[in-house]
Chain A
Amino acid sequence: MSATAPATPLLAVRGVKTYYGNIIALKGVDVDIHEGEIVTLIGANGAGKSTLMMTICGAPQARDGTVRFAGRDITRLPTHEIMRLRIAQSPEGRRIFPRMSVYENLQMGAALEGGSHFAADLERMFEMFPRLKERIHQRGGTLSGGEQQMLAIARALMSRPRLLLLDEPSLGLAPLVVRQIFDAIRLLNETEGLTVFLVEQNAYHALKLAHRGYVMVNGVITMSGTGADLLARPEVRSAYLDGGH
């Protein structure tokens, strides 16, 4: 798929530098994501992966460089306006609203959607994650980690995004749940052409799933290529895959 990708990417990150106070977290990052692709970003803890995700959403904003979405410069837009262009994020730490029910969390996901597809979309989420249907009236804060992760992804999907940003969906989850979530992502990509940008520490599964991947070290992209290509590289294997997967 990446070989035949169209010329203008859906998301184009160019020379982005992000700071926390005076500390630089991203030192000039370039990333392209084309419509219909699954792209993954792997790297060690603290490399700046989540910072890149949040910078795309304008929280914090890049101090230097540009972020373009569907041809439009979104670098300086406030977060809520960026999200209204149909970017959705399932963020690091999941950030489920703890004192809202599962149903209300999903309603929040659909806040931009206006409600016209709400019932149908809800049904779709229940098909994908039947556990959420069982928990529908339970408070978000009382769900297990895996259930919260499913809810975070479902909430993001409720807005019918053009681009889905997933930050470490496998963190702290049992292998079976991880597979379930990755299968769901693959299915959405294959059946609906959903574009996904996936940040992962679980490099093996992420590179298996993705069409293309980037490797980030200390706020810099050090390698990129197709998923299979990166998986085969010895430096990727030794840094991110040894010690089992």
Chain B
Amino acid sequence: MDIFLQQLINGLTLGSIYGLIAIGYTMVFGIIGMVNFAHGDVFMVSAFIALICVLLLTTVVGISSIFLVLAITLVVAMAFTGLVSWAIERLAYRPLRGSFRLAPMISAIGMSIFLSNFVQVAQGPRNKPLPPMVPDVIVLMERDGYQVTLAYKQILIMAVTAGLLFGFWWLVQKTPLGRAQRACEQDRKMAALLGINVDRTISLTFVIGAALAAVAGVLYLMYYGVVNFADGFVPGVKAFTAAVLGGIGSLPGAVLGGLLIGLIETFWSAYFSIEYKDVAAFSILVVVLIFMPQGLLGRPEVEKV
């Protein structure tokens, strides 16, 4: 029971991070039908932007309040990562739109390799550590020397994720921008016939997806206290798995899929074997693709025409 509760907390924390990244995959797929393989590396880049920002703020600027540092870092990382993603779309994907279907995906794989190699060269290949931030924990229960803890940073991760998802939901459902975004997703040609600038809407989709991945990057850095140029790959593929599990194209599905992948991974580590936790997560991808390709909340393709 104690282990179960502890893994539930850990799983939801990890799942929040996967969910935030998964939204970027699912939104881009929804609007242009492309898997943005570089998205995981955009997440990794955001963690490096956060690392640099935290170090600058704590050492050069000398801000002592850790929450102020995190808040500023969040905004800076979202802005810069959004910019990076905007540039990627503009340079590597847009010129290939209208080309054959695989072209932008190949370009995305190239972008992924470029980003991780660029960070490796620019920042060095070793792990980049940060001194622990927000180290306090709450002990929820204790029995036979086993403590079930809830760390402040776990609370922070879940709270930031929940708040952000609410804001994001509001943006997509209630604002003209979100409406234009959904219109482009459902029928790009018709959206243009209603005066919507489709290219600009697609750019914004990339920027929003990257901003959410940047939040995940900041939270990841705070949680693990370390980042490495190769860290885009595994979380990226897991978030993609989450998007597929939830039903690619579905925003609630991405969040649900993220939480499920996080939970599966932590429970597998606790009850079976920690070495095989990635195998467990990726086996799900295979099983879902075979037996349930539309995912949990994906829509079956029946519509009246």
Contact = CB atoms under 8 A, between A and B. Distances in A.
A141 B304 contact: yes
Contacts, number: 66
A225 interface: no
A80 B303 contact: no
A83 B183 contact: no
Given A80-B197, A84-B195, A159-B195, A59 B189 contact: yes
Interface string B173-205: 000100110110011011111111110000000
Contacts of A89: 193
A99 B183 CA distance: 9
B193 A91 contact: yes
A184 interface: no
B305 interface: yes
A109 interface: yes
Contacts of B186: 97-100
B198 A80 contact: yes
A91 B182 CA distance: 19
A57 B190 CA distance: 11
B304 A83 contact: no
Nearest to B193: A89
A143 B305 CA distance: 9
B241 to A, nearest CB: 25
Q: Taking chain B's interface residues, is the majority helix, strand, or loop, or is none over half, making it mixed? A: helix
A100 B193 contact: no
B187 A83 contact: no
A142 B192 contact: no
Contacts of B179: 100, 104, 107-108, 111
Given A98-B303, A99-B186, A112 B193 contact: no
Contact of B176 (A78, A95, A111): A111
A110 to B, nearest CB: 9
Contacts of B190: 91, 95, 97
Categorize the interface residue count of chain B.
Answer: 20 to 34
Highest count of chain B CB atoms <10 Å: which of A59, A79, A98, A109: A79
A125 to B, nearest CB: 15
A52 to B, nearest CB: 15
Q: Taking chain A's interface residues, is the majority helix, strand, or loop, or is none over half, making it mixed? A: loop
Given A108-B183, A141-B303, A59 B196 contact: no
Interface string A107-148: 111011000000000000000000000000000011100000
B247 to A, nearest CB: 13
A51 to B, nearest CB: 14
Contacts of A141: 303-304
B237 to A, nearest CB: 29
Contacts of A84: 195
Interface string A88-102: 010101010111100
B195 A111 contact: yes
Nearest to B199: A78
A152 to B, nearest CB: 9
A103 B167 CA distance: 22
Given A100-B182, A141-B303, A111 B194 contact: yes
B196 A111 contact: yes
Given A95-B187, A97-B183, A83 B176 contact: no
Given A97-B183, A97-B186, A83 B194 contact: yes
A57 B195 CA distance: 10
Contacts of A159: 194-195
A91 B191 CA distance: 12
A59 B194 contact: no
A79 B305 contact: no
A80 to B, nearest CB: 5
A113 B74 CA distance: 36
Nearest to B187: A95
Contacts of B187: 95, 97
Highest count of chain B CB atoms <10 Å: which of A83, A109, A111, A143: A111
A28 B283 CA distance: 58
Interface of A: 57, 59, 78-80, 83-84, 89, 91, 93, 95, 97-100, 104, 107-109, 111-112, 141-143, 155, 159
28 contacts: A59-B189, A59-B193, A78-B192, A78-B197, A80-B192, A83-B192, A91-B193, A95-B187, A95-B190, A95-B193, A97-B190, A98-B186, A98-B303, A99-B182, A99-B186, A99-B299, A100-B182, A100-B186, A107-B176, A107-B179, A108-B194, A108-B196, A109-B194, A111-B179, A111-B196, A142-B304, A143-B304, A159-B195
Interface of B: 176, 179-180, 182-183, 186-187, 189-198, 299, 303-305
By Cβ-Cβ distance, the 5 closest A-B pairs, closest first, are: A83-B195, A79-B192, A95-B190, A112-B195, A141-B303
